[in-house]
């Protein structure tokens, strides 16, 4: 109970916890192009959210953001603005990237495996127990892609992020 001598209540504690998580996420580097900077930030955010899975659902729910949260959002928007994005396009880009990032992390945390060895075990068992002639496309995907040596589900994040970043264009690039 002595904690409540320092904070007003539960909401202040949650605000502080979320702000601490934002403080762990690398800000986009200033010495590179916007795409590289946002890729770095997304990779950092994914790593942080994997360490703090409870935070994914809380991050955007806070009405009293702390200084680390505000600094983080300002830096991301600033990176896009410096890259030639208008205010509306920067808003679209942040929403798209963060929706993908949080959605991927939620999916990743829900998977019934951690790492390649467990993936091989889980996917292998599914394929063995599944009639290949009933689910030919699923069988093909598993055997020709997922169960191949070197497959890493984490690469799916990189693929999706690259697709999104390549699809985004600053207003300057769009008018050129």
95/98 Cα distance (integer angstroms): 5
Please report where in the chains the tokens 């060895």 appear, as a residue: 117
Please determine, for residue 171, whether its predicted confidence score (pLDDT) is greater than 90: no
**Residue 84 carries which DSSP code?**
T
118/105 Cα distance (integer angstroms): 18
Say which CATH number the domain at 108 has.
1.10.357.10
Q: Is residue 54 part of a domain?
A: yes
pLDDT tier at 5, thresholds 50, 70, 90 = low
Q: Is residue 162 part of a domain?
A: no
pLDDT of residue 132: 84
Q: Is residue 165 part of a domain?
A: no
Helix H or strand E segment including 91 = helix 87-110
Residue 51: CA count within 13 A, CB half-sphere: 11
Please determine, for residue 174, whether its predicted confidence score (pLDDT) is greater than 70: no
Please determine, for residue 3, whether its predicted confidence score (pLDDT) is greater than 70: no
pTM for the model stands at 0.86
Q: Is residue 39 part of a domain?
A: yes
Give the residue numbers spanning the domain of 87. 3-112
| Phi (first) and psi of residue 142, to 5 degrees | -65, -50
Q: Is residue 160 part of a domain?
A: no
> In the chain, how many domains are there?
1
Q: Is residue 135 part of a domain?
A: no
Q: Is residue 71 part of a domain?
A: yes
Q: What is the pLDDT of residues 64-100, one digit of tens each?
A: 899 999 999 999 999 999 999 999 999 999 999 999 9
Q: What is the pLDDT of residues 30-60, one digit of tens each?
A: 999 999 999 999 999 999 999 999 999 888 8
Mean pLDDT of the chain, nearest integer? 89
């Amino acid at each position: 109970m002595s904690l409540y001598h320092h904070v007003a209540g539960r909401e202040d504690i949650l605000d502080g916890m979320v702000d601490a998580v934002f403080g762990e996420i690398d800000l986009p580097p200033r010495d590179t192009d916007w795409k590289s900077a946002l890729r770095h930030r997304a990779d950092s955010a994914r790593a942080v959210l994997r360490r703090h899975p409870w935070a994914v659902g809380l991050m955007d729910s806070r009405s009293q953001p702390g200084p680390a949260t505000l600094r983080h959002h300002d830096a991301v928007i600033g990176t896009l603005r410096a890259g030639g994005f208008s205010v509306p396009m920067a808003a679209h880009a942040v929403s798209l990237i963060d929706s993908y990032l949080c959605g991927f992390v939620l999916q990743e945390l829900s998977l019934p495996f951690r790492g390649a060895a467990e993936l091989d075990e889980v996917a292998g068992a599914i394929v063995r127990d599944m009639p290949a002639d009933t689910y030919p496309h699923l069988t093909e995907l598993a055997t020709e892609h997922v169960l191949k040596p070197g497959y890493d589900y984490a690469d799916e994040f990189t693929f999706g992020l690259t697709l999104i970043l390549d699809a985004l264009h600053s207003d300057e690039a769009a008018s050129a």
